[in-house]
Amino acid sequence: MNTTPHVVFIAGCNRSGTTLLEILLERELAGVAVGEVWTLWKRFVPGRSRCGCGSALLDCRFWSEVNERYGGFERDLEAGGHLRDGVLRLRRLPGLLAFPAIRRERRVEIRMAGSMLRRLYRAVSEVRPDRPVIDSSKFGSYAILLCRTGGVDVDIVHLVRDPRAVAHSMSRLRRRRDAADPSSTMQIMGPARAGVSWLVWNVLVLLARRYARSYTRVRYEDLVASPVSVLAAVRLRTDARRAPAKPPHAGSPADRHGLGGNPMRDYDRPLVITADDEWEVSMSRWHRWIVLVITLPLAIRFGYVGRRGSRSGIHLSRQEPER
Ligand SMILES: [Zn+2]
């Protein structure tokens, strides 16, 4: 019996629909969705954050059980903070890519971070056995770290969305419902900064793909237009044979424990899938032009510019991982 934790990693840029995909994959693969779990250590402080089930994070039964099996997140709060603000910084990316052929102290740092992650996913898999972990941490550098340090089977699902739609969404004020402070809002960006952000985050995922067990690229626009066929394709690629042979669980709000992300995660009624295409009527031509100029190479590659725009956005590859 294979006891290696199985992670379906949803990667991509903020505001690309990753929370929607997380909810759909949790049902399709009968998985356990943990949300943006790479921020866990930062959140595991009294009064800092709420879980997707509505409880304060420290009061949530699911995370309390995971914490117990992990051996106590409290002892790794500093290392968890360093994971986010040190190990995964963009300027450290060359070290991650060259691992293990790097300076000894950097190698030790990366191995320690990898050890924390292995313990975390193992603990989640013990609390919810036989279910793939649906992780929507999104960040490509984190995916690279997870794949390169070993001990976890990682299938990447890369969700891409038209960069103009993402930039428009980033220009709007949105509440952070996972924050303890109800007035807390998500970061707002202008079109140029949003375009750069879209480009960098997606390039990082393309770098991560070579280290994962499989890579599936899905366009948000195809997901909302044909969710059944897109999810079936993802299921085929993510080794869902390991998922239990029982109907996908309904994912009731009380049993959903994702961290962070879009307010949609807290839904308490049947999920209705509709395309968010407000940008097509509300975004100025000037802002669209700025975003497209910055993101052009990948916007073409993903089919958002030119004739390729009409093609299906499901791109598949399967490979032996590099460690
Ligand atoms: Zn919870």
280 CA to centre of ligand 1 in angstroms: 36
Helix (H, G, I), strand (E, B) or coil at 316: strand
Residues in the chain: 323
User: How many angstroms separate the CA atoms of 49 and 43, rounded?
Assistant: 6
- Distance of CA 123 from the midpoint of ligand 1 (Å): 15
Q: How far is the CA of 287 from the centre of ligand 1 (A)?
A: 39
Given a contact cutoff of 8 angstroms between Cβ atoms, the answer to whether 168 and 278 are in contact is yes
Note residues around ion ligand 1 (Cβ under 5 angstroms): 51, 53, 60, 62, 257
Whether 257 and 51 have beta carbons less than 8 Å apart is answered as yes
**From the centroid of its chain, how far is CA 199?**
16
- pLDDT tens for the chain, 323 residues long, are 668 999 999 999 999 999 899 999 998 998 999 999 888 888 888 777 888 888 888 899 999 999 999 999 989 988 888 888 888 989 999 999 999 889 999 999 999 999 999 999 999 999 999 899 999 999 999 999 999 988 999 999 999 999 999 999 999 877 666 555 666 667 789 999 999 999 999 999 999 999 999 999 999 999 999 999 999 999 988 866 555 544 445 556 667 898 886 655 554 556 778 888 889 999 999 999 999 999 999 999 999 997 544 444 556 555 544 44
In the structure encoding, which two tokens stand for residue 221, read together? 């626009």
Please tell me the predicted confidence (pLDDT) of residue 316: 57
253 C-alpha to center of ligand 1: Å? 9
Taking the C-alpha atoms of residue 174 and residue 186, their distance in angstroms, rounded to an integer, is 6
Ligand 1 centroid, distance to 263 Cα (angstroms) = 15
Which of 266-291 are b and which e, b meaning 16 or more Cβ less than 10 Å from the residue's Cβ? Answer: bbeeeeeeeeeeebeeebeeebbebb
Q: Which domains, ranges and CATH numbers included, belong to the chain?
A: 6-317 (3.40.50.300)
For ligand 1, the distance from its centroid to the CA atom of residue 34, given in whole angstroms, is 9
Distance 257 CA to ligand 1 centre (A): 4
Beta strand extents in 175-255 (DSSP E only): 214-219
Residue 100 DSSP one-character state: T
Per-residue pLDDT, 318? 52
Give the 3-state secondary structure of residue 302.
Answer: coil
Which H or E run includes 197? helix 191-208
Measured distance CA(119)–CA(220) in Å, rounded: 32
Q: Residue 309: its pLDDT value, please?
A: 47
In the prediction, which pLDDT does 236 show? 87
User: How far, in Å, CA of 23 to CA of 271, rounded?
Assistant: 9
CA neighbor of 6 nearest in space, from 26, 31, 25, 27 = 31
Q: What integer pLDDT is reported at residue 181 of this predicted model?
A: 62
Q: Ligand 1 centroid vs 63 CA: distance in angstroms?
A: 6
Q: How far does residue 50's CA lie from ligand 1's centre (Å)? A: 8
